[in-house]
Every structure is written in C-alpha cells, then in structure tokens.
Amino acid sequence: MSATAVAPRLHGIRRRRGLVLAALLAAVCAAVVLSVTIGAKPVPLADAWSALTAPTGTENDIVIRSLRVPRTALGVLAGIALGVAGALMQGHTRNPLADPGLLGVTQGAAFAMVASIILLGAQSLLAYIWFGLAGALVASVCVFTLGMVGGRGGPTPVTLALAGTAVSAFLYALTSAIVLLDEQAMDVFRFWQSGSVAGRGPDVVWQVLPFIVVGLVLALVNAPGLNALSLGEDVARGLGQNIALTRGVGVTAVTLLTGAAVASCGSLAFVGLVVPHLARPLSGTDHRWLLPYSGLIGAALLLVADVIGRVVAPPGELEVGVVLALIGAPFFVALVRRRKPVRL
C-alpha cells in the first residue's frame, strides 16, 4: 500500500461509521415504537399514531399521551445519558470496569432525597428529583475536590476512584441510618432504589431535559481531548491538551448526565457499565464515535428492558432497574468470559 492509499481507507471507515450510526438510530426508533405500543393495555400502532396527531379523548389516547410517551421519553433520555456517561467514565479512568456511579453521584442523589424527607418534609416526586439532582452535584464536587488533594496538578483516575468510593460509602451509611428511622423515607428510598421510568409525568421529562442536553454537549466537546488523554497524561500534555480542563469538563458532563438519570429514574445498574462494551467493537477507540454510539445503544437497551418488564409478569410489571440487573449481570459475565475486557 502506498502513502496515498491511506486516504481512501480513511474515507471508507468514515462511511461505515455513518452507516452504523444510522442503524443504531433505527434501532432506537424501533424500540420507541415498541415502548409506545406494548404494555398492560396494548395499543395498535395506528391508534398510537392518531393519539399523537389527532387525539379524540379515547382511553387509548389518554394512555399514550399521559403514560406511554413520557415514560418512553424518559427512557430514551436516561438511556442516552447513562450510556454516554459510562463511556466518558471508562475513558477518563482508563478502566473498563468503571461505572458512572464511581463519582458518588448515585449515593449523593439517594442521600439528598431521603434527607429532604426527614429534614425538610419534602412530599412530591418533583421535589425528590430536585433534591436528588442537587445531591448528585454536591457529591460529585466533593469527590472531585477530595481527588484533587492527593494528586499533583489535578485529580488522577486513581485518586478520583478512591475519593468516590469513600464518599459513596459514607453517604450510603447515612442513607441507611435515615431510612431505618423514618418510614416515609424508607418507602421513597425503596421505590427509588429499584429504578423505574414508570409513573413520571411530562413535567419530570422537562425538568431533567436541560441537564441532559448540557451534559451531552459537554461530552461531545470532551471527545477529542479524551482521545488524547487515552494515550496517557504525558502524551496528551505533549499534544497540547490541558489535562485539568479536560478532566473538569468530563467530570461535569458525567455528573450532569448521571445525576439527571438517577434522580429521575432511580439507580439503573449496568447501563453505564455494559453499554460502552457493546459500542466499542462498532466504534473502535475513537471517542468522537464511541460516545454517540453508547448513547444510542443505552437508549435502545433501556427501552427494550422496560418493555420486557411490562410483559413478563402480567398483570403486574417488573421495574426496568430489576430487568436491567437480571439481564445485565449474566450478559456482562458472558462478555467478560468471551473476551477479556479491553485495556483502555
């Protein structure tokens, strides 16, 4: 192959990546259709369409507009957020087993929710979500600050992981103490911990949307810097990358995305951990493609898991968090057994 033959090869790769992106988009659209039509009350596709375009107030119209659509929208948002956050987290820590919860975001949200109940008498779902978001942000800032104390010139993946584990354990202990003392807090915590996209109205979707949009923009801006960082901090610095700034943007994106997802849907295990491993064989090591692929796969996975949860145990439903853990755990074991997890 001559030097000039490199060019067509690169163009070929770009076209293939575009096709994969289109295929993943199609998969998400298919999952959206399933999520809108399948459930305790199946709605034919034509009726679902007319409910959206020309509602006449039938029972189907109400089911679609007030239940299925917000539920599906939240599933898409949370799936994208957790998939992208997982890929960012694994990229920044260079650890294939890193999870967005590593920054203490999940435990921060849980603690703030139960604390708001006993200290401030919070009552509504919307209030819990605001407190959850705030808790996630505060916990992440604490972890980042603690992680900075040990390292020279910015937190390193190791100090971040250590600080995250310590803060998470501390918050979990406080949360446990509170829910043992207060029954209402216990109920909210239990509901939250199982992880669900059901029963949240459109107001919840609008509430978390701006956080997720900002988080996604920051994530995409972060992608080229993350590519440089994946060669090691010294190489990245040599390539003119500002390490502290790149880490800061990345951590902010992970916090916003994960915080919005866990505050609104509860703890959804495995999405952030597994999805990047599904995306990587399609995207390679380039984060400019890995991040969008992870987002789309996350959305499709979350919606499909939610649909499965609606049909496996009629007349009841399984929460999507439970379904994800049930299919995610064996799936992850299979993934690890089939190939050793990649070195990042």
Question: Which residues make up the interface to other proteins (CB under 8 A)?
Answer: 1-4, 6-7, 9-10, 94, 152-153, 220-221, 223-224, 227-228, 230-232, 234-235, 237-242, 280, 284-286, 288, 342-344
DSSP H helical ranges for the chain? 6-37, 45-53, 59-62, 69-93, 105-120, 125-150, 157-181, 183-194, 202-229, 233-238, 243-265, 271-283, 287-311, 320-338
- 196 sits in which H/E element: none
Of 7 and 313, the one with the shorter C-beta distance to other proteins is 7
Please give the C-alpha separations between residue 32 and each of 37, 73, 275, in angstroms, as whole numbers: 9, 8, 18
Identity of the residue, 23 or 235, whose beta carbon is nearer to other proteins in the bound complex: 235
Please say whether the dihedral angle defined by the alpha carbons of residues 80, 195, 322 and 96, taken in this order, is positive or negative: positive
CA–CA gap between residue 249 and residue 92 (Å, rounded): 11
Report in angstroms how near the CB of residue 287 gets to other proteins at its nearest: 10
Closest residue by Cα to residue 68 from 92, 43, 93, 100:
43
Q: Shortest Cβ distance from residue 12 to other proteins (Å)?
A: 11
Task: Determine the 3-state secondary structure of 284 from DSSP.
Answer: coil
> Residue 96 CB, nearest distance to other proteins (Å)?
9
* Minimum CB distance to other proteins, residue 240 (Å): 3
Please state, in angstroms and rounded to a whole number, the distance separating the CA atoms of residues 97 and 272.
10
Residue 36 CB, shortest distance to other proteins, in Å, is 35
The distance of closest approach from Cβ of residue 69 to other proteins in the complex, given in angstroms and rounded to an integer, is 34
Closest to other proteins by CB, 14 vs 41, is: 14
Smallest separation (angstroms) from other proteins to the CB of 221: 6
Q: Which is nearer to other proteins, 95 or 184 (CB)?
A: 95
Q: Which is nearer to other proteins, 88 or 105 (CB)?
A: 88
What does the alpha-carbon distance between residue 227 and residue 220 come to, in Å, rounded to a whole number? Answer: 11
Residue type, 99: D
Query: What is the closest distance, in whole angstroms, from the C-beta atom of residue 28 to other proteins in the complex?
Result: 24
The amino acid occupying position 88 is L
Nearer to other proteins, 65 or 94 (CB): 94
Nearer to other proteins, 2 or 124 (CB): 2
**Residue number with CB closer to other proteins (55 or 281):** 281
What's the min distance (Å) between Cβ of 331 and other proteins? 21
Alpha carbon distance 271, 340 (integer Å) = 19
Cα–Cα nearest to 197, from 313, 28, 39: 39
Nearer to other proteins, 165 or 285 (CB): 285
- Contact between residue 98 and residue 342 where contact means Cβ atoms under 8 Å apart: no
Eight-class DSSP state of 195? -
Q: Which of 139, 289, 137, 309 is nearest to 220 (CA)?
A: 289
